[in-house]
Structure 1
Amino acid sequence: MKRTPLFEAHLALGARMVEFGGWEMPVWYAGIQAEHNAVRERVGLFDVSHMGEFVVYERGATDFLRRVLSNDVAELAPGQAQYTLMPNAEGGTVDDLLAYRLPDGKSGHPVYLLVVNAGNLEKDWAWLASQRREGEPVGLDDHSESKGLVALQGPRAAMVLNEVCRLPIFHMPYYGFERGEVAGVQALVSRTGYTGEDGFEIMTEADEIEVVWDALLDAGAAHEIQPCGLGARDSLRIEASMPLYGHELGDDISAVEAGLGYFLELDKPEQVGGERLRREKVEGRSRKLICFKMTGRGIPRQGYPIRVGGETVGAVTSGLQSPTLGEAIGMGFIPEAAAKLGDAIEVEVRGRSVPAEVCRRPFYKRPH
């Protein structure tokens, strides 16, 4: 299994390590609920160095990414990032990712950074390479092994980060980023995250990320900072109704079906998978992702059947007992017409049909 540059730091903190997408990663330190609550109430620190980083550059970079990504990178100015998806030829999803517009290169041509999911890294790289046309002036570099990445998340994240850098942290817009020193190390700092809270992601060279990790833990001690593992990362993103590839997204799941139509810019001259995506956006989709809360006793898990009127119509993609809301919640796909907001459904939990109700997305929205 692969290990991030922070592997030894995790062991020193007593982390429980597990396999995730070919990586040995911390699933928890103090416990999932304690880490979850720390992010909702104070601040937590995650190692996300397993994520992939690709740089796309040269004269044709913008046109190339407008074609292969769902959102429109032409709308980005240097210092801005956007959430986007990478559709396949059939309109399903290769991956979801963040695209950053870096300062132009020495040649004056645009440069972009793509941060992709760890489990899809090789697949994403192969897909991007396959979409580059012969003679197209586009450069592709894989920087995944040379970068370290941590996520500082929670209502006190800005206060903690401000103590170890001189960047204008409090004035940085959401999905904005800057380059500068963090704990004396050159870093790219973005106001982004995957928790539903305010937060920042800090990228450095791989051999320098531990300096940043240690400095943030030291600066955060007064704020009761908590190192956090993959368990809390998952529970936080479910409460925020954020998709996870392999659950709410996949090769056969479109952005429209997943409720991510906002991140589609389909008036671009060319769009990989555009035929299906346009059709679903205009004519409607055959299935949709719903959020639901259990009204009976039972916790929904991935793969559990969803029923309407006694008939199995879909399946749960993610579910848990919400630490913040104190109730069992889940997401899943059902036919478009099967149920609407407020309708009663049932989830089969260990052979029992348990009542649930379709509810608004997201389950949790930060109050501050």
Structure 2
Amino acid sequence: MAMMRVAMLMILSTAVTVPLLSRALDIHQLRQLLALKNVTCMLVFGDSSVDPGNNNRLATQAKGNFPPYGKDFFNGRPTGRFTNGRLATDFIAESIGYTSSIPGFLDPNVKKADLLYGVSFASAGSGYDDLTANLSNVLPVSKQLEYFRHYKIHLRELVGEKKAEEIIRNALFVMSMGTNDFLQNYYTEPIRSKQFSVEEYQNYLISCMLRDIKVMNSLGATRLVVVGVPPLGCMPLVKTIMGENKCVGTYNKCVGTYNKVAFSFSSKIKGKLATLKASLRMKTAFVDAYGVIESAINSPQRYGIVETSKGCCGTGTIEYGDTCRGLRTCNDPTKYVFWDAVHPTEKMYKILAEEALKSLIGNV
């Protein structure tokens, strides 16, 4: 247990994935549909699954702004994204026709004109529980929302108050987090586990999520997409820590207790989102994060994947973040579910984006 606590404490963040669409997405048709709905830009909150590099500007170890991260990004440039290339939010923005990548709000190279297409306030290592972010000295959602207020000021200066309010009202808000709340916080630190049972902590996180969504709504948000958590027990690092890779033939076995928690929590998120449509008059969509990794691991051939049990960086069983720095990687990341022992590959993020876009068409 002590070993598990030490190793779990290192987990900075994670990401999520979802199944491939049953048919190819018609990007031209999608853009027409979203244009009819006046979708203006994308504003992103969360953890490393949607952080394009905000942590680069923070005094934290939760960073990925060095090789081999970014190996397949434009010009092979590491940006702070915890993967080999782009994130799901980058692909979503490109598909809608905004930009090829969503910048971080703290990026000093962001130009004012870039604000029109949207930005990410996300911070790797964060979670619904502010304590989770504090453990890694990263941005809690409350701070991300504070930066969103700053964004609104910049936007008003750029296009005027009336136009700025219109942009916010028709913007697509995205929330993606939750993994760190359990792996880095609840199962590692003694604070929350002494205060709450697992189910009580899930309910506490839901209350935190609702609090933040209400703040977003008061600031003008009317369209929201929330990404659920992945099957936590299938992450290579978690399986290594929990001993599921000791014997040949057992490594592909995910840790059932952790998956049960992830599935349950995602179900709670989905249920609560349904109530917001009436109480806050918000249009909401849920992206099933749990389904994709489970599906990719159980039926990898459907996705053109070969390796589901380890990441592409180093041994693929324990390396992520700083411990992945400068290591050799696999020859073809498109054959892998995971880039490192925690985070998915660019390919899996693209799959996530396709599923998210499918949800947008029917809900927001």
Q: TM-score range by the shorter chain?
A: under 0.3
| Structure with more helix by fraction | 2
Larger Rg: 1
TM-score normalised per structure 2: 0.24
TM-score normalised per structure 1: 0.24
| Structure with more strand by fraction | 1
Higher relative contact order (CA 8 A, sep 6+): 2
